[in-house]
Amino acid sequence: MPYINEVEKSLLAQPEARFPASPFYEGPEAPCRFEAEVYNCVVRGTIPEKIDGTYYRCMPDALWAPLYQDDVFINGDGAIGAVRIKNGHADFKQKFVRTEKFLIERAARQSVFGKYRNRYSDDPRVKHQVHSTANTHIIHYEKQLLALKEDSKPYALDPDTLDTKGIINPNLDYMYQSSDLELLGLYDFHGQYSAPTFTAHPKVDPSSGDLITMGYEAKGDNTTDVVYYLFDKDGRKLEECWFKAPYVGMMHDMAATDKWIVFILPPLQTTTVEAMEKGAKHFAWAEDKPLTFGILPRRNPKPEDIKWFRYKNAFYGHTGNAFDGADGCVYLDAPLTYCNKFWFFPPLGQDPLTTPSSKPPPGQVTSHYVRWKFDPNATQPFVEPQELINVDGEMPKVDDRYATKPYTNLFLAMADPDASQAPVGGMYNAIARCDINTGKVVHWAAGPDTALHEVAFIPRAADAPEGDGYLVTIANRRDKMLSSILVLDTDKISSGPIAIIELPFRLRNGIHGSWVPSEELLEDKDFCDMSGITEAIRREFEGTTVNVVLS
Ligand code: V55
Ligand code: FE
């Protein structure tokens, strides 16, 4: 009589859920595919009472087995995870963005969208306006969440229910339900944003609340057109400037200072539409292209004002921060990676698993945190970085109150510098607080079986010193096949989390997230289902503390 584990091996999953045998879809990264609500998570330790807000994050999570076996992790459907922390307690919720892809594939009960950002590889029955998976970043703007994917406009979500706005939820009290796009749940700044694409990394100027944003491939696939937009905190358009890039590539992140915008163009080049029609991936690493930067005045920019700079062939992931120098130059701080971190987009004709471009040049490290200097009056286009922090890390975060301004503190997800082996599955397993002026690093490593993600920073108080407060991040415990949310004190990074919010399930590797303080959230709607709880029941327990007797 065969035991269950033997039987299971002999029975294949149904085709629509038979995921490829690849590290993107197996074991600790197997798709989760669920929506969830956990009221009052189990918390170990103590969450400081002052922490009051919600941490939102995006997680690509393939709901359906991909049409193509070589599909990539970053093509997963956008699942929004949210943990609301109040009075030392934590409630968790997760919901998928109701993208057109989600709705059409749910109707089909299978995958019908094709490869990552290759609309020509979709099932011919797919009739859609928007290809977005809404899986990269989630920000709070104009009293709503915007779920971002750089190939499309943002999807707007309710910050309490995580419901996607628009036609799929016609009962929502939706302020701007006016245009066709808004009926689909998309946000286009009340008709002011005409480009089809919107970066996953807009910046917010903390002094004004201005939203600084851009789109690339802004006149369609493989177009060199780039558009810069500036909006005020209430959604009014202040600037719009269209210009052309020297080549088309994954302009994933950007940077801004008080006076300048920095556009970043790494050598992940876009393939031609003809190649995409024949099934090519959207991007291919170009060994002959330099990492390229463009600076444009933040106010009153003209297309001819864009000034381009270039370095060698190298990879740029994410911006730490940028600021104006007293010398009139623009400074940009970011990790610099000496190989193609997106190995799954190899040079044309090469195998993703063996391509040399995915390994750092012999004798060199993977990445460093560096500073770039752009002189608006420079007469030659070459730039060389200066090393600030000698650690291998990414997903840089600064205290948002210092974004676009000079700063000192940097938080990074990094590889444990003391570990003999690489972190599990190529993921980071440590987090660091760095002083960019002295190069000093204080870190905590979670151990060999845990993947740690990007952190979010929470100031200890509104007037706390820069970088003083708490960090939240998600830990994927591969030893337990469970995930938890960690809270660390920035004063005591190296002793590890002060609180661990336990989830009774496993999440996948996530991308980016945002901390939103409660006072910025518009309505005090229930986050978890509290229906059926009357005022009388509530009053019964008001102001009381339950003394749990443990014997
Ligand atoms: C990134 C992630 C994306 C993407 C492009 O982290 C770049 C970088 C989750 O999707 O589409
Ligand atoms: Fe990113």
Nearest ligand to the CA atom of 200: 2
* C-beta of residue 412 within 8 angstroms of C-beta of residue 393: yes
Residue of 197, 252, 264 to test ligand 1 pocket, by largest number of atoms within 8 Å of CB: 252
Three-state SS at 97: coil
* C-beta of residue 521 within 8 angstroms of C-beta of residue 54: yes
Interval 459-467 mean pLDDT: 97
Residue 179 binned pLDDT confidence (cut-offs 50, 70, 90): low
Poorest-pLDDT segment among 236-250, 415-429, 444-458, 463-477: 415-429
Of residues 90 and 184, which shows the higher confidence score? Answer: 90
Flag whether pLDDT at 168 surpasses 70. Answer: no
Flag whether pLDDT at 421 surpasses 90. Answer: no
Distance 513 CA to ligand 2 centre (A): 10
pLDDT at 303: 98
Phi, psi dihedral angles at 356 (to 5 degrees): -65, -25
Interval 7-24 mean pLDDT: 93
DSSP assignment of 403-423: TTS---EEEEEE--TT-SSPP
Q: What is the pLDDT of residues 301-352, one digit of tens each?
A: 999 999 999 999 999 999 999 999 999 999 999 999 999 999 999 999 999 9
Atom 4 (ligand 1) nearest CA: 74
Atom 5 (ligand 1) nearest CA: 252
d(CA 132, CA 110): 17
Three-state SS at 549: coil
pLDDT at 3: 96
pLDDT at 546: 65
* C-beta of residue 325 within 8 angstroms of C-beta of residue 341: no
∠ CA 137-487-322, nearest 5°, is 45
User: Which residues form ligand 1's pocket by a CB distance below 6 Å?
Assistant: 60, 74, 135-136, 150, 252, 511
Flag whether pLDDT at 200 surpasses 70. Answer: yes
Ligand 1 atom closest to residue 252's alpha carbon, by position in its atom list: 7
**Which candidate, 393, 458, 465, places its Cα nearest to that of 428?**
393
d(CA 259, CA 7): 64
pLDDT at 538: 87
d(CA 108, CA 124): 13
Poorest-pLDDT segment among 179-193, 258-272, 335-349, 375-389: 179-193
d(CA 422, CA 406): 33
Flag whether pLDDT at 250 surpasses 80. Answer: yes
Residue of 24, 77, 136 to test ligand 1 pocket, by largest number of atoms within 8 Å of CB: 136
pLDDT at 174: 41
Terminal-to-terminal C-alpha distance of the chain: 45
Nearest ligand to the CA atom of 319: 2
pLDDT at 427: 82
Distance 136 CA to ligand 2 centre (A): 7
pLDDT at 171: 47
Distance 266 CA to ligand 2 centre (A): 13
Supply the mean pLDDT for the chain: 94
pLDDT at 540: 87
Locate the domains of the chain by residue range.
Answer: 4-244+391-541, 245-390
Adjacent-strand bridge partners of 397: 411
d(CA 436, CA 321): 11
* 177-203 as b/e: b if 16+ CB within 10 A: eeeebbebbbbbbeeebebbbbbbbbb
pLDDT at 525: 83
d(CA 207, CA 188): 24
pTM value is 0.96
Interval 201-216 mean pLDDT: 98
Residue of 150, 270, 316, 395 to test ligand 1 pocket, by largest number of atoms within 8 Å of CB: 150
Residue 22's CB is within 10 A of a number of other CB atoms, namely 16
pLDDT at 362: 86
Distance 74 CA to ligand 1 centre (A): 6
Interval 114-132 mean pLDDT: 92
Residues contacting residue 548 through CB under 8 Å, at least 6 positions apart: none
Tokens 């946000």 map to which residue? 187
Distance 138 CA to ligand 1 centre (A): 12
Residues contacting residue 82 through CB under 8 Å, at least 6 positions apart: 54, 55, 56, 57, 92, 93, 94, 162, 527
Q: What is the pLDDT of residues 400-417, one digit of tens each?
A: 999 999 999 999 999 988
Alpha-carbon Rg for the chain in angstroms: 23
Q: What is the pLDDT of residues 213-226, one digit of tens each?
A: 999 999 999 999 99
How many residues belong to the chain?
551
Phi, psi dihedral angles at 277 (to 5 degrees): -60, -30
Distance 529 CA to ligand 1 centre (A): 32
The two three-digit tokens of residue 89, written as one number = 């307690």
Adjacent-strand bridge partners of 432: 412, 443
pLDDT at 22: 87
Flag whether pLDDT at 434 surpasses 80. Answer: yes
Flag whether pLDDT at 361 surpasses 90. Answer: no
Beta strands in 266-407 (DSSP E): 268-270, 283-285, 292-297, 307-310, 315-316, 321-324, 330-337, 367-374, 386-389, 393-397
Flag whether pLDDT at 551 surpasses 80. Answer: no
Distance 341 CA to ligand 2 centre (A): 12
Tokens 């066709």 map to which residue? 180
pLDDT at 162: 96
Three-state SS at 487: strand
Nearest ligand to the CA atom of 117: 1
Distance 364 CA to ligand 2 centre (A): 24
pLDDT at 101: 95
